[in-house]
Amino acid sequence: MSNTGTYQNGQTAQQFKCELVVSGESLYLYMQDGSKHLLIWDLRTINSCHLNGSQVIIKNWGYPHETLVCSGEIAREVYATWSQNNLVRKAEGLMFKKNHFLILTLCAAFLAICVFAYFWLLPWVGEHSAALVPVGVEIEMGEQLDAMITQGSVVNDSATYYAGLFTKELNLDTDYPLNVRVIQSDEINAFALPGGRIVIYSGILGKMDTYEELVALLGHEITHVTHRHSLRSILRTTASSLLIATLFGDVSGISAAVLEQADQFKQLDYSRELETEADDHGLALMVQNKINPQGMVKLLELLKTEAVEMPAMMKYLSTHPDTQARIDNVKANPFRTMWFDSNTKMQKLFDGIKRNL
């Protein structure tokens, strides 16, 4: 087996091309500079034989310090001969042979870490960072979002007036200043913003038959407010933007990242856990205020009737529990069987809302 390499004698910076031949445990170097000079190195006595990519760098530590660089088949042959009786050298050679596989493995691991961080770690960090946001900042954020979302919408002032009185009749243990508004729209929807602002569309109110259903709706949305579900969910979706803004100390960028998601609050994608928690706490709020909890079941049945059901196979991909699952969860709650007398004042206020839709 023969090939070429580059030899340096250690006395000058000049490099010499040489033909290489491995025979037994010896390496023959035939200089190609016309001198026909021949060097014979005993590979067993060479202490330094380094791998550098596809090259082998051999250093003969006698005097002068000679160096040989070669690549390709001859490099593998030289290294195999040099390392055959030394376990440490063999291990180094094994790493050399598998360096491409190692690089690919490391790249795949790095990519997996990035995917994990983007889809799981960052959202988790974003959601839990809500605890660091002061209530005052949250309220101010909600006001800005409310102005952006409801811009151009028609507020039903009369229905909003009665809805505000209706809400005040509830005994609510919260430090948030609740602000309930009715938007004129056929949409069957309601949503809560950070800081205590709740928007209800006239479409869903028009479909309600009892005031208990409205209490159930308010209980559900108020839980989103008091447990900071809205803030946690939006921080979760903007986690990557928040991370970049935080790293560069861009406070305005943090606010911008949240406000850019304003439209998402209309159809905020709560997790299964948060949505179920809002139903359970809403039901407890009804019992606390001596409102028949059957209203929660009626509200969910209304939503099920009006909603477009997704295919069964897609329900497992949705973060929302499907409506029937929510109904089953409420029916399994011990509070659901409790019964209270009708609240005449709340019934009148509910009638006032209905008359002004």
Reported as a single tens digit per residue, the pLDDT across 38-97 is 888 888 778 778 777 678 888 876 677 888 999 888 888 888 888 775 544 444 544 444
Choose the weakest-confidence range: 6-10, 46-50, 240-244.
240-244
**Number of other CB atoms surrounding residue 327 within 10 Å:** 19
Instruction: Give the C-alpha separation, 200 to 194, whole Å.
Output: 15
Q: Where are the domains of the chain?
A: 2-97, 123-355
| Helices 272-288 and 211-226: angle between axes, nearest 10 degrees | 120
Tell me the whole-structure pTM to 2 decimals.
0.60
- CA–CA dist 251, 212 (Å, integer): 43
Residues 127 and 200: their CA atoms lie apart, in Å, by: 25
pLDDT at 354 over 70: yes
Coil, strand or helix at 29:
strand
Whether the bond into 64 is cis, omega within 30 of 0: yes
- Separation of alpha carbons 201 and 183, rounded Å: 5
pLDDT on residue 159:
96
- DSSP code string of 41-65: EEGGG--EEEEETTEEEEEE-SSS-
Within 10 angstroms of residue 179's Cβ, the number of other Cβ atoms is 18
Position 317 scores a pLDDT of 32
For residue 221, what are the contacts with CB-CB under 8 A and spacing of at least 6? 190, 191, 192, 198, 278
d(CA 33, CA 47): 27
Instruction: Sort strands 190-192 and 197-201 into parallel, antiparallel or unpaired.
Output: antiparallel
Answer whether residue 318 shows pLDDT above 90.
no
* 236-261 average pLDDT score: 55
Nearest CA among 186, 181, 214, 215 for reference residue 202? 186
CATH class of 2-97: mainly beta
Q: Tell the burial category of 138 from Cβ atoms under 10 Å away from its Cβ (0-12, 13-18, 19+).
A: buried
Question: 16: exposed, middle or buried (C-beta count within 10 Å: 0-12, 13-18, 19+)?
Answer: middle
Question: Cβ contacts of residue 233 below 8 Å, gap of 6+?
Answer: 127, 268, 269, 270, 271, 274
Greater pLDDT, 319 or 14:
14
**What is the pairing mode between strands 197-201 and 179-183?**
parallel
Least confident of 14-18, 123-127, 246-250, 317-321: 317-321
Kindly provide the residue ranges of all beta strands, DSSP E only, lying in 119-224, ordered along the sequence: 179-183, 190-192, 197-201
Per the prediction, the chain carries an average pLDDT of 79
Q: Which residues pair with 42 in a beta bridge?
A: 26
- The 3-state DSSP composition of the chain as helix, strand, coil percent (nearest 5) reads 55, 15, 30
Residue-by-residue DSSP string for 111-123: HHHHHHIIIIIHH
